[in-house]
Structures are given as C-alpha cells and as structure tokens.
Structure 1
Amino acid sequence: PHVDIKADICNLPFADAVFDVVFCNHVLEHITDDTKAMQELYRVLKPGGFGIFQIPQDLSKEKTYEDFSITSPTERTKHFGQYDHVRIYGRDYFNRLRAVGFKVQELNYCQNLSAETIEQYRLMSGEILPVCFK
C-alpha cells in the first residue's frame, strides 16, 4: 500500500546502471523467469555496486527444483513450501547469479556469532547470503 514505485522485476522502469545498492528480499522464488529478473537487477546496478538477493534456499540440494506444470496453490505449497512460489533454490543459485554477470561472495553471516545472538535477532543459522557485485 505504501510504495513509491510498483514495477515488474523483469522489466524495471529504470535506466542502466543507476543504483549503488540493490536489495531484493524473497522475491525471485515468485518469478517464473528468474533469469530475466536477475538480468534486470544486473542492468540497473552501477559498476562497483552491490546487491543482496536473498531467497529461501535448500542448501542440502545441489540443484534448484522447479516444475512449471505445477500451478495450483495446493500443489505449489506441497512442492515449494508456499502457494505462490515457483521453485526451491538449491546451491546452484549462486551460479545462476554468476551466469548473468555478477561476482558472488557467499557470505555465512552467522558463522562468527554466538548462539545467543543468533536467537536474539532471530537469524537463520547456516543461511548463506549472496552478496553480488557488478
């Protein structure tokens, strides 16, 4: 309701190389053509800029699981964990980002935090954030 710009992530209404930082939090798992969305994120990022593109990820799986024949909310929930998700990313997510041009640092941001700090801030121990540079 309180947004400045509503846009299609696969066709962003911005010129090339306009943002120093792009934060995309739990969006790409909803997008059928996630490669196009990643290309758009790369396009709008300035050289030397960075992005954090957080997604739900199953790090125990090497490959992303997606099946576009699954369209019903019930089946999507069963397969992808939520009715409006179209995939579950595996460890190959980082290489998908690299394939569109990003230099990706895989950051285990909790590895040096105490269990108490992780609990206090409700962080996801073991989650790896992709910090993506152009």
Structure 2
Amino acid sequence: MKTIFKFFLNLFPRPLLIRLSYVVRPLLAFFLRGNKYTDPIDEKSFRAFLPYGYGRQRSNVLSPSTLSLERHRLFWLYLKNETQFFSSNFKVLHFAPEQCFLKRFRNLKNLNYTTTDLLSPIADVKADICNLPFEDNSYDVIFCNHVLEHIPDDTKAMQELYRVMKPGGFGIFQIPQDLNRATTFEDDSITDKVERTKIFGQYDHVRVYGRDYFDKLRYIGFKVEEIDYTATLSDSEIDKYRLAKGEITPVVYKN
C-alpha cells in the first residue's frame, strides 16, 4: 500500500491528484470502515487510515473519507473548540483550500468565504500570494496552511497576508516545521527533485522552517501564539484522531 501511494503521489501533478481523489475517496472509505480511528471532521470511523508522504512515508495518517492529514484534523479541532469560527459572522480568505474543508466552510451561513490559489483547480480566485488582488484590511479570518514553504519570497507573502487582514482579525498559518532547528534552512542551489524531496520533505518545497518562523511573522507585524493543542488532549484522543503529538499551530492576530 505504501509503495502504491508513493508511486501515484510522485507520478501525477497536485491539481490532477485533487481531481482523481474525488473518484477514489468513496471506495477507500468503504473498504476501510471500522471503529478504531475517527476523523473528527466528518466523525466517521475506520479500522485504519492510509499512508502518506512524498519522501519518507508516514503510516496510518490519511483519512479515507475526508483525505485529511494530522494537521487538518488538529486545525479542525482547534477551530471547533477554541474559536467562534462556526458561529460568528466572518469574512474569510482561504489559501490553497483543502478538500476536507472546502464544502464544509462554503456551506456555513455565517461566513463570507473566498478561496484563492495560483494553481488549485478548486479555488475561487486565481492569485499570486505575493501580489494579492484584494483591498487592505479586507478579511476577518485568513487561513494559509502549508503554502509558505512553496513561496520563494515568503517575506513578501507574509506582508500581503498582513495587509489584507482586518485589524482585530486572526489567522492560522501552518507550515511543515522542524522544531529542532533554531533557524530556517534554504538552499536554491539544490535543483534535483529527488534531492529536494530528501532534504526539504517535498520536491516543490523551497525551505525547511525552524523555530524562527514565529519571529519572522512577528517582524511582519503579527501577534503570534504558538499553540500545542495536542497538549490539551489525552494520549488516547491523540491516537484516536491520528494527530502528531507536539505539533505547533501558529495562530496570528493583527492589532
């Protein structure tokens, strides 16, 4: 199973994988139904989750029903339990919208919800994160998860995120992060896709973020909370929802 998934992840470009997943997902959910693990996004349970990863594959992490990963389920639990996202009236901007959230967020009557991305076939607005076509102080909530590691000029992208967020607004800007690194690592001289996957975790990533990521956001002007939401959960809940224990969620605010 791991070998098959790795083959398809590396064979097809991401936009095509997104389209194919709509066909494959119901079959996976049917064959893996059970009661050992639960996806909190749709509350469906399975005997196992699927493996995932472009380089080193992680076992038992991809939900068969929503195709959510650890970070998506953590994001959902935090939003549901710690914010007013599902009840208050918010104008929301969502970068590179994940399938597991897209329809659910669109169906929320309390949200004015816009999605954007340069390449995603399921986004509303095609836009460059470094040159956004939105007015200053436009959005109450901004989600930008696992996007910045793809952007060569992430400083400009962060400045644009800050510009379009309303004062008093908040956002969640998740990234793949090595908390053992004090500083972020970049090396543009590494161009081979196999080598980039080995070093950066994915062939189209341009850096590995370290702990200085949070300070970079602060330098842009954001107030940043480094939240380990798994610390509020029991070990059995972390296993049940297949979360990454100790993962930090960067929650940002604009004063």
Superposition TM-score tier, normalisation by shorter sequence = over 0.9
Structure 1 distance, partners of 2:162, 2:173, is 11
Q: CA RMSD in A?
A: 0.9
The equivalent residue for 2:158 is 38
Question: What are the within-5 Å matches in structure 2 for residues 1-134 of structure 1?
Answer: 1-134=121-254
Q: Secondary structure at the match of 2:231?
A: coil
The 3-state SS of whatever aligns with 2:144 is strand
SS of structure 1 residue aligned to 2:236: helix
Corresponding letter in the other structure for 1:57: Q
Q: Distance in 2 between matches of 1:76 and 1:82?
A: 7
State percent identity of aligned pairs: 69
What per-residue deviation string (whole Å, max 9, x for no partner) do you get for residues 65-105 of structure 1? 11112222122112101100000100000001001000101
Q: TM-score, normalised by structure 2?
A: 0.51
Provide the C-alpha distance between the structure 1 equivalents of 2:150 and 2:122, rounded to a whole number of angstroms: 21
In 2: Cα distance, 1:38 partner to 1:71 partner = 25
How many residue pairs are counted as aligned between the two chains? Answer: 134
CA drift of 1:31 comes to: 0.4
Cα deviations by residue, 1:3-39 (Å, 9 ceiling, x for unpaired): 2111111011100010000001100000000010000
Letter in 2 for 1:49: G
| Matched residue SS, 1:51 | strand
Q: Secondary structure at the match of 2:157?
A: helix
Q: CA deviation at 1:52?
A: 0.5
1:66 alignment partner AA: E
AA paired with 1:87? R
- When normalised by structure 1's length, the TM-score is 0.96
More helix by share: 2
Q: Over alpha carbons, which structure has the higher Rg?
A: 2
Which blocks of at least 5 consecutive residues in structure 1 are unaligned? none
Q: Distance in 2 between matches of 1:71 and 1:37?
A: 22
Tell me the distance in 1 between the aligned counterparts of 2:131 and 2:191: 23
Deviation larger for 80-89 or 2-11: 2-11
